[in-house]
Structures are given as structure tokens and as C-alpha cells.
Amino acid sequence: MCQYVITSMRTNVQFGMMKHGLEILTESSIDHIEKTPEGLKLTLSGKSEGTLIVDALLCATGRLPNLENLALENAGVEIDKCAIAVTLDSRTSQPHIFAVGDCSNRINSTPIAIAEGRAFADTEFGHNPRAISHENVPSAVFSQPEAGTVGLNEVQARAKFPDSIKCYSAQFRPMFHALTGADEKTFVKLIVETNTDRVLGVHMVGKDAGEIIQGMAIAVNMGATKKDFDATIGIHPSTAEEFVTLR
């Protein structure tokens, strides 16, 4: 039997959600929302034209820095694409004014805001000038199934190294669910640059993806190669052992 591995993270998340009973309507817009005794009545246009009654509506279309009322123009601080423009060491266009965290719209997360703040404090007050790297920052989406990722994705890697990218991936039923009997799949993927053998990206969809990718991020940041991954002994039975046995 031929078994196809879906190698895109988003499709793995989407299929996993659909297995849990979620209906996903793509290429559709909500034109109108009306409160009715049955619930919220949505009028849709596009691929899923029609109406839909729902219990709740969550709008998750991203966010922008809230710079209103800061009067940055009075201080001569430059704004670029709705965010405070900063150098790598968080300096604004006014050399004595710094900006860290979401207001500079680099990578908007709590650990990045803290790291940028610490680097600023070390530089300005600790006699230890330094800037943090915004590369290989791990992240996770705590959806069901969960997704975790660090480093370049396949599209980014192929754009950077068009002739020397090799991807390794696997999709399998994790041991945990062999016991529960649930039809749950885990997906793992490594992106490798073949000239250097360096692992440029590690990606996963499935149980504990965030926890597992946090550890993988150390290896990617240290410049681990596929050979290093292969030389690492797995923990059996675990999901993470798949990363060191990919062929």
C-alpha cells in the first residue's frame, strides 16, 4: 500500500483539526453578523456563500503596536510600518531612546520582549553591550493538534539555498495513541542544507510539539548537523526519537 506523507505543517494541523470534528471554511469572508435568539447569524460570501449560526465568534487576524498617544513625532522617533523603527540593539532614530518588545514589532512574544529588555539593560547599565538574535526563535501554536517549529521552513530554505536542500519527514501514530486507540497522527520534519549538512529547520505537528521543539531549538542554534542528529541515541518509546532516526 502506498502511504503519502503530507509534508506541509498547516495541512497537517488542518487535517488534525478536521479529524476532531472542526469544519474549516476557506476562501470565505464574513460580510454581516446578526444577533438572533438561535445565536450569531453570519452572512458569508466567497466559496462558502450563505448563512451560518454560531455560538461565538473569535477574531484572530493579528495585531499592531499601539503607538497612539505616545506623541513619538514630538520626540522625532521614526515609525516604520506602524512600529517603532529600531536597530539590532533596539535603538530608535533618537540615539538616546530605545524600544523593546511588541512596539518594535520584530517577533511579538513574551520571551523575545524579555530578552530584548535584558540585552538593553546589559548594554546600557551592565557594561556588557549585546544584541539578541532574532534567528532560530522557536515557537508553538497550542492548537489541537499542537504545532511547533524552529528555524527555516521548506519554502524559506529553498529560497536561500535553491540547489542544496533536503527534507526528511515522517507521519506516524504516536505510541501514546497506540494505547488510547485514537486516530491521531504526529508529523515531524527536518530541513537540511546538504553542502554543510546543517539542520536549518525542525518542525512538528502533534502531542507535546512545543515541549519537544524547545529542546530541538538548542541543537539548531548550536549549528547541529544531520549527522549529529543521527549520532544521537533515541529514547524509546517516545515521539522525539523520530527526529534522530529520520532517513
List active site positions.
Answer: 236
- List alpha helices for the chain, DSSP H: 9-19, 72-75, 110-125, 154-160, 175-180, 209-221, 226-231
The one among 83, 85, 113, 246 contacting ligand FAD by CB under 6 A: 113
Give me the least distance between CB of 117 and ligand FAD, in Å please: 7
Q: Which three cell numbers stand for residue 178?
A: 497506540
Q: What phi and psi values does residue 192 have, to the nearest 5 degrees?
A: -125, 135
Output 17 or 70, the one with its CB closest to ligand FAD: 70
Q: Which is nearer to ligand FAD, 108 or 232 (CB)?
A: 108
- Give the DSSP letter of residue 208: T
Quick check: 180 binds ligand FAD (CB under 6 A)? Answer: no
Strand ranges inside the chain, DSSP E: 28-36, 39-46, 50-54, 79-80, 83-84, 139-141, 147-151, 165-172, 186-193, 198-205
How far apart CA 27 and CA 64 sit, in angstroms, is 24
Give CA–CA dist 122/112, Å, rounded.
15
Tell me: does residue 102 bind ligand FAD (CB under 6 A): yes
Binding ligand FAD by CB under 6 A: which of 46, 111, 215, 223? 111
CB 139 to ligand FAD: min, Å: 8
State in angstroms the smallest separation of the CB of 170 from ligand FAD: 28
Residue number with the smallest Cβ distance to ligand FAD: 101
Among positions 110, 133, 180, 195, the unique one binding ligand FAD when judged by CB under 6 A: 110
State which of positions 30-69 bind ligand FAD (CB under 6 A).
Answer: 66, 69
Contact 213, 202 (CB under 8 A): yes
- 70: contact with ligand FAD by CB under 6 A: yes
Instruction: Quote the CA–CA distance of 165 and 197 in Å, as a whole number.
Output: 9
The residues that touch ligand FAD, with contacts defined as CB under 6 A, are: 66, 69-70, 101-102, 108-111, 113
